[in-house]
Amino acid sequence: MQLKNDRYLRALQCQPVDCTPVWMMRQAGRYLPEYRQLRAKAGDFMTMCKNPELACEATLQPLRRFDLDAAIIFSDILTIPDAMGLGLYFEQGEGPKFQRNITSLADIEALPIPDPELELAYVTDAIRLTRQSLQGKVPLIGFAGSPWTLATYMVEGGSSKTFGKIKKMLYSDPAALHLLLDKLADSVALYLNAQIQAGAQSIMIFDSWGGALSHRSYVEFSLQYMQKILAALQRGQRGTQYTPEYVPVTLFTKGGGLWLDKIMATGCDAVGVDWTVDLSTLPKGHTAIQGNLDPTILYADKTTIEQNTALILKEFGPHNGHVFNLGHGINQDTPIASVETLINAVHQFSKREV
């Protein structure tokens, strides 16, 4: 089915668009009253993730309210560790936790590589159902966590502020950590290829905690494994003109501004950047840029939101290859009117002739 709105995919291929496409990380989330009702009906977050009908509904909810240029499948980055048998659960107010965490080389050696059409079939089923339900309105994004980010949760047992356990492994037993990251890279590549086969039209890899690494460790323990995944993805051949069937890949390292040249050199189609990056300093034309409004600006008044949106568009300039987004996920207490203001401002201020 031909897409009715393909400006997001065009922008990722650095092709001309009639206006800058916009979507938001965590656009299906708790800031929406209909999402809160759906989650209450489901009972808990993982039930929503593992029920394709509920995941599809959550994915579609923000598109009914806002003129977004892409949908992102409702899921979680920690589905792979859960499928490996670590027992993912969510503690109220504390975020994700695992019943069993990784503490030794033996734990790593015992980890299976999940079959995405068995242990993770609920995700691929949700993608198939959502593609059908979208009816070509906008493209559907699939995603996964980066090996390093997944490993932090698996070793720490949940979220962390210091990353003390995994950094201890990094410096005292790097061979064990490399084995874990290698298994995760293989698992993520299989998982993302299954998402592409199921109908994902773009892929995003979230390296949420890459910014916690030293500048030397980042390339060795994070970037090289994302590059391994990229090399394994069956995304088709990108042409010099817009290629609708090509599946572009975005890499996003939060706090990764120091390494953008290295990230671009991986061969990814787009790089996600947070609000610490000045878009005017980045090279334009071959690798697309996604970002980068600070999500807390959405607490401000309409004029402030519009002014900051205009500043980011001006920073990027009149070049091809910009996907407007927040610098990280939308906050759960964000006013809905602010989201409407942002999306309308992006489209209005970036209109141009194609």
239 is in an annotated binding site: no
Asked if 26 is an active-site residue, the reply is yes
Asked if 216 is an active-site residue, the reply is no
Asked if 352 is an active-site residue, the reply is no
3-state secondary structure the chain: CCCCCCHHHHHHCCCCCCCCCECCCCCCCCCCHHHHHHHHHHCCHHHHHHCHHHHHHHHHHHHHHCCCCCEECCCCCCHHHHHHHHCEEEECCCEEEECCCCCCHHHHHCCCCCCCCCCCHHHHHHHHHHHHHHCCCCCEEEEEECHHHHHHHHHHCECCCCCHHHHHHHHHCHHHHHHHHHHHHHHHHHHHHHHHHHCCCEEEEEECCHHHCCHHHHHHHHHHHHHHHHHHCCCCCCCCCCCCCCCCEEEEECCCHHHHHHHHCCCCCEEECCCCCCHHHCCCCCCEEECCECHHHHHCCHHHHHHHHHHHHHHHCCCCCEEECECCCCCCCCCHHHHHHHHHHHHHHCCCCC
Catalytic option among 6, 7, 8, 26: 26
Asked if 76 is an active-site residue, the reply is yes
76 is in an annotated binding site: yes
Asked if 36 is an active-site residue, the reply is no
Query: d(Cα 346, Cα 290) in Å, to the nearest integer?
Result: 13
Residue 304's nearest CA partner among 343, 338, 349 is: 338
234 is in an annotated binding site: no
235 is in an annotated binding site: no
Catalytic option among 30, 65, 128, 238: 30
153 is in an annotated binding site: yes
State the greatest distance between any 2 C-alpha atoms of the chain, in Å, as a whole number: 59
- Give long-range contacts, CB 8 A cutoff, 24+ apart: 344-349: 344/67, 345/305, 345/306, 345/309, 345/310, 346/19, 346/20, 346/22, 346/309, 346/313, 347/19, 347/20, 347/22, 347/67, 348/19, 349/306, 349/309, 349/310, 349/313
89 is in an annotated binding site: no
Catalytic option among 6, 69, 76, 269: 76
29 is in an annotated binding site: yes
Catalytic option among 31, 153, 218, 225: 153
Per the annotation, binding residues are: 26-30, 76, 153, 208, 328
Instruction: Name the residues annotated as catalytic.
Output: 26, 30, 39, 76, 153
Per the annotation, binding residues for substrate are: 26-30, 76, 153, 208, 328
